[in-house]
Structure 1
């Protein structure tokens, strides 16, 4: 039977509840100096605020080597009552020291499988998804390497693959690689950041593969396209893809947290949810937030 793998153990898909399907509690990168998400107290406060707004679960997409602070996640989940899903995987090369990447050569899929089945480090926390990343309108050698490893780990475990689309681009290239070449079923793939490149034709073509379409934000960097999201979702629903949609907050820097004056995780439920309800109706928005994440991240674990 399919289960969602949380940091406190596996749960039935229907037990996940209202879910932020793409966010970060902890994250560190040389590309974001001085903006790290590394404060456990702030993470707890953010989860408390999200819970108060009606949230029940968060899928954290922070992958291997980017400051996941996995050992803190069970404590945070117990303290706040919010279910947490942790990721394995690898981001773009720019986020890592070259020496670290070299050390993963020849064993990347093995690392992913171990984190999904045995646990991350000595924490005992098992990852529930594999996060990888594409490039801007293209896939470089690093992306192909990480996606090949992710596909191998998927075939070994059944785990879903969540993909960072750089500025929302490259969705069809990702699907060509993962689905056509590497034989990953479309419904085991989550494409992130589609709101950042709001091409309705590409979005419908991507949805036709059976993949999940994640719309996440808001952010200062992508504010120019944030306001397109309600109409983009309605167009996809009208085209018959209402059952493929996910929503997330994608908080990646400390200043974006609600406890630091930013929109943060609660914004998804406080402002985005009622805005989307005006366009899509309560029933569909409730499914996108409360049903689809359980379906997207549930696995018949091998």
Structure 2
């Protein structure tokens, strides 16, 4: 494990958190899909953060639990050229992992599943308590020993800070990462606390920043903070446009352009993050297809086709690939 950072230190100055060399040799790295490991260049156009199934006691009545609707969403995404969807639904939130291989085969879309744990409010107290002391082992099992294996560890911060639950889960995620090399995806509730997450995962627990994907950064459209995160070496996921009503959606392209202009085009990811049935395209929401029908053409037109290809194809191929350990 890495050493704790001095108070006030930023992870980009820590030994374990130097920016990645995007030219680094990735020989042997594979993306773990629900149908098995594939070469990164097989991913094609990727929705880097989404949900086919999800449930939570904190979101009663808003479950995604319709397999037919999930397939329709995948088919609509595939019809626009989509090839891969990464489902960030972690353990205990109804990921319905056993159904993902069939959906992948029927739609022709690669699916990457997740293990991990969300904020405490998304679980019953007894459910959390039952696995608290064995989280790392649980994550490793779902990454390497389950019949349908996960390819991502999902964790979450609280509003503007890391509470005790988040710190405990992130410590277990770091342990599972070191055992498997799995990437770690982080839900940032308000798009904040990104540097605190990197201090903890990279500075304290020795995770390389190039294995960390920080999600929902568009919710806090501070371009200076975004650049600091990128300089530290992490991937930045701008995810959530399927909701089409977030107060900062109109800043999304500005944030992407700012990062690209600062030399960080190779670290940007995009995902729809569809979390309610009403947000799906089949229910008159934008859904997964909006990434390719709405956002990609705008990025190509306003920011350039090369940047669009990086965001949708080249960057996910690196972000989700790992040198998997048994």
Give the TM-score normalised by the residue count of structure 2. 0.90
Equivalent runs, 1:180-219 vs 2, <5 Å: 180-218=203-241
When residues 159 and 208 of structure 1 are mapped into structure 2, their CA distance, relative to the original with a 3 A threshold, is: same
- Please point out which of 135, 154, 161 is paired with 1:131: 154
Shift of 1:220: 4.7
Alignment match, 2:194: 171
CA contact (8 A) 1:234 1:279 kept: no
Q: Secondary structure at the match of 1:262?
A: coil
Alignment match, 1:87: 114
Q: Does 2:70 match 1:43?
A: yes
Distance 2:233 2:179 in 1: 21
Distance 2:81 2:265 in 1: 22
Distance 1:279 1:142 in 2: 41
Distance 1:278 1:6 in 2: 32
Aligned length: 298
CA contact (8 A) 1:130 1:161 kept: yes
Q: Does 2:308 match 1:285?
A: yes
Q: Secondary structure at the match of 2:130?
A: helix
Q: Does 2:51 match 1:27?
A: no
Distance 2:133 2:190 in 1: 29
Alignment match, 1:140: 163
Shift of 1:279: 2.6
Give the gaps of 5 or more residues in structure 1: none
Shift of 1:274: 1.0
Alignment match, 1:267: 290
Distance 2:243 2:318 in 1: 30
Shift of 1:209: 1.3
How big is each residue's C-alpha offset from its partner over 1:55-101, in whole Å with a ceiling of 9 and x where there is no partner?
Answer: 00000000000000111100000000000000000000000000011
Give the TM-score normalised by the residue count of structure 1. 0.97
Q: Does 2:34 match 1:10?
A: no
Give the gaps of 5 or more residues in structure 2: 1-27
When residues 267 and 221 of structure 1 are mapped into structure 2, their CA distance, relative to the original with a 3 A threshold, is: closer
Alignment match, 2:258: 235
CA contact (8 A) 2:242 2:285 kept: no
Q: Does 2:102 match 1:75?
A: yes
Shift of 1:32: 1.2
How big is each residue's C-alpha offset from its partner over 1:220-254, in whole Å with a ceiling of 9 and x where there is no partner?
Answer: 58521001011111110111111100000000011
Shift of 1:167: 1.6
CA contact (8 A) 2:243 2:274 kept: no
Distance 2:283 2:153 in 1: 29
Equivalent runs, 1:238-257 vs 2, <5 Å: 238-257=261-280
Distance 2:30 2:279 in 1: 31
CA contact (8 A) 1:116 1:126 kept: yes
CA contact (8 A) 2:243 2:285 kept: no
Q: Secondary structure at the match of 1:77?
A: helix
Superposition RMSD in Å: 0.9
Alignment match, 1:58: 85
When residues 96 and 11 of structure 1 are mapped into structure 2, their CA distance, relative to the original with a 3 A threshold, is: same
Distance 2:153 2:247 in 1: 29
